[in-house]
């Protein structure tokens, strides 16, 4: 999980590379580096820690080169250090490489290169790549573009995932890039081209992009780009115009990206609803072509995702089963792949990934297709890997999400899943139309109700101030409230580093209650009128043992001896998680701020998990 940037054009490369790294720092931030070709030599500058450390190098101001590559790292092989930072060079200093991904057979390749006299200066898997390129460049006879041929032969030896940029002082007019299972885009303009692992890094420079496919090579010059497949046959490629506003990837006056993105949720949901849902009309998913006849053949739906996206899937499962009566399971992508799931042509598999580049989720999708299941991708990024692999693709329209801890992407995913469930139900005629119309009304009211939640935050800040020094917290809920408790617990772990666990409230007495002692904080979510009395009884079990309680609710629960109660607007229970999660997002945020932590870049985490 790393961020890579490249530039070639008629401007100084260094400022563009640094700005790109700053935009991509959410993808990795334990070291950073750049390499440019200056005075017929490759000049590298690397440092441990944030990009800000790299910026302090006074030598950067003297660089006038108009070609370079850059990298911000999330460590996989080798501890964070200057030596392990990218870019990495070959022993002759002729080739420089930055790499996102993991080379699984790097030990074998390292042994081969060592036997040929190559020395290694780092602990990384990446360092084998420039040395392999050098080996084949100097020892093989190629016809045509020798640089491209050497890169192609070297990368064909790699097992694992990679997005790679290569520059060479022997060919100072081009950058060569290739990808497999890791994201890479090329932004283009008349006399300059930009390369990045994620669109927001270069969105301020261009809105026209080439989206690379697996095993596709690109030779990037300042005024044009050549594309080649894995046999090095040249082909053309369409330009994709990305409509994101570049300012949406900026803080716009907010102290942190996470806070900005929490407050963007009303608009993100409004944009995700878009034209798919209108009163008096059936939901519109004409773009995916899933027919009534196909839906009638389905006997199982799987929702497959990781982390926060998986929690959105848990809410989607409830909606799909309730409205369509089709059995639905939610699976963690990394587990789904390896348990030999029962899949066939009567199975629909839905894969959720904010970035569309989550390695485990993409691998699970490929497995499902190989077994004959139909696949549907839900992503926030147009043209991402998962959407190009799936049979069908639909998009949330949350805009760029920069903070590592997902907020607006999560709530947008839930909205889109529930609208999809309504669409299926309308086709199958499996739920009374009046029930669906009432649900549609409630969905259309969500942006306004979210605005209400976001204007009443003082109680959340006050509670955060009382508990930010605690070391353990517990979250309880039943039904969709349990799914919310899981996501609330995850948010707290991610950015505050407080140990927390979530439990189905009815399971409390089957073991977890042993953890409850005087003063422990327990957070309960109560929004389901059919389960509220049962959940109150469960929470009373911790109250009687001295727990301090915070309750998120839209029900009348007065006189229950709870310490703090946060009221949210009432709505259909299927979509109440969209409202009830917001106080928990804010609670995690304010706890982290009171602790003086970096909210947007929590330790050990990166935004887009492109390694397995």
d(CA 516, CA 183): 45
Q: Give the DSSP per-residue string, 508-521.
A: GGGTGGGG--TT-E
- Residues that are catalytic: 2, 607
Q: How far apart are CA 499 and CA 495, in angstroms?
A: 11
Q: Which two tokens stand for residue 608?
A: 């887009």
Q: Rounded distance, CA 337 to CA 368, Å?
A: 9
Whether residue 508 is preceded by a cis peptide bond, meaning omega within 30 degrees of 0, is: no
User: Which residue, among 407, 376, 411, 400, has the nearest Cα to 273 in the 3D structure?
Assistant: 411
Beta bridge partners of 194: 7, 187
Residues 209/239, Cβ–Cβ less than 8 Å: yes
- Measured between alpha carbons, how far is 303 from 427 in angstroms, rounded to an integer? 20
Residues with Cβ within 8 Å of 335's Cβ and at least 6 positions away in sequence, in order, are none
Question: Is 567 within 8 Å of 556 (Cβ atoms)?
Answer: no
Tokens (6 digits) for 330: 């939610």
Strand-pair category, 216-220 with 225-228: antiparallel
Which tokens belong to 322?
């309730």
Q: How far apart are CA 291 and CA 320, in angstroms?
A: 16
CB contact at 8 A, 148 and 161: no
């Amino acid at each position: 999980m790393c961020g890579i940037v490249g530039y070639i054009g008629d401007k100084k490369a260094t400022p563009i590379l640094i700005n790109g790294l700053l935009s991509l720092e959410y993808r990795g931030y334990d070291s950073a580096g750049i390499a440019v070709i200056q005075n017929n030599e490759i000049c590298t500058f690397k440092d441990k820690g944030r990009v800000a450390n790299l910026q302090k190098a006074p030598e950067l101001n003297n660089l006038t080169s108009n070609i370079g590559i850059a990298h911000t790292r999330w460590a996989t092989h080798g501890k964070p250090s200057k030596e392990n930072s990218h870019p990495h060079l070959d022993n002759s200093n002729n080739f420089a490489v930055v790499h996102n991904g993991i080379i699984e057979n790097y030990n074998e390749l390292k042994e081969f290169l060592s036997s040929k006299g190559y020395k290694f200066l780092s602990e990384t898997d990446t360092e084998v790549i420039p040395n392999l390129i050098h080996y084949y460049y100097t020892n093989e006879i190629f016809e045509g573009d020798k640089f491209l041929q050497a890169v192609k032969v070297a990368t064909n030896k790699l097992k694992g995932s990679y997005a790679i940029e290569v520059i060479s002082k022997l060919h100072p007019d081009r950058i060569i890039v290739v990808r497999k299972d890791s994201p890479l885009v090329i932004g283009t303009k008349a006399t300059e081209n930009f390369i990045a692992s994620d669109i927001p890094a270069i969105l301020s420079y261009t809105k026209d992009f080439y989206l690379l496919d697996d095993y596709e090579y690109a030779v990037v010059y300042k005024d044009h780009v050549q594309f080649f497949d894995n046999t090095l046959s040249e082909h053309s490629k369409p330009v994709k115009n990305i409509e994101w506003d570049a300012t949406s990837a900026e803080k716009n006056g907010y102290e942190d990206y996470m806070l900005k993105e929490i407050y963007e949720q009303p608009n993100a949901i409004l944009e995700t609803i878009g034209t798919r849902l209108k009163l008096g009309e059936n939901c519109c998913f004409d773009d995916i072509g899933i027919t009534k006849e196909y839906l009638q053949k389905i006997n199982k739906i799987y929702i497959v995702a990781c982390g926060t996206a998986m929690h959105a899937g848990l809410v989607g499962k409830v909606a799909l089963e309730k409205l369509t009566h089709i059995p639905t399971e939610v699976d963690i992508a990394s587990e789904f792949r390896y348990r030999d799931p029962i899949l066939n042509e009567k199975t629909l598999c839905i894969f959720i990934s904010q970035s569309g580049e989550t390695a485990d989720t993409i691998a699970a999708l490929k497995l499902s297709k190989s077994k004959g299941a139909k696949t549907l991708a839900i992503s926030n990024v147009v043209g991402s890997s998962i959407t190009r692999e799936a049979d069908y693709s639909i998009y949330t329209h949350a805009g760029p999400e920069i903070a590592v801890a997902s907020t607006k992407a999560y709530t947008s995913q839930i909205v889109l899943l529930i609208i999809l469930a309504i669409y299926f139900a309308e086709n199958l005629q499996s739920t009374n139309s009046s029930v669906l119309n009432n649900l549609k009304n409630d969905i259309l009211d969500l942006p306004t109700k979210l605005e209400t939640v976001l204007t009443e935050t003082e109680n959340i800040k006050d509670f955060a101030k009382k508990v930010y020094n605690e070391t353990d917290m517990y979250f309880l809920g039943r039904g969709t409230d349990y799914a919310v408790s899981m996501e609330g617990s995850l948010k707290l772990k991610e950015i505050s580093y407080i140990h927390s666990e979530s439990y189905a409230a009815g399971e409390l007495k089957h073991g977890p209650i042993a953890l409850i002692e005087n003063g422990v904080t327990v957070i309960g979510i109560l929004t389901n009128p059919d389960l509220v009395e049962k959940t109150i009884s469960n929470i009373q079990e911790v109250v009687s043992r001295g727990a301090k309680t915070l309750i998120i609710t839209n029900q009348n629960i007065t006189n229950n001896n709870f310490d703090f109660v946060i009221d949210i607007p009432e709505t259909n229970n299927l979509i109440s998680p969209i409202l009830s999660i917001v106080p928990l997002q804010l609670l995690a945020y304010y706890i982290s701020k009171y602790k003086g932590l970096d909210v947007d870049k929590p330790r050990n985490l990166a935004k887009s998990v492109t390694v397995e």
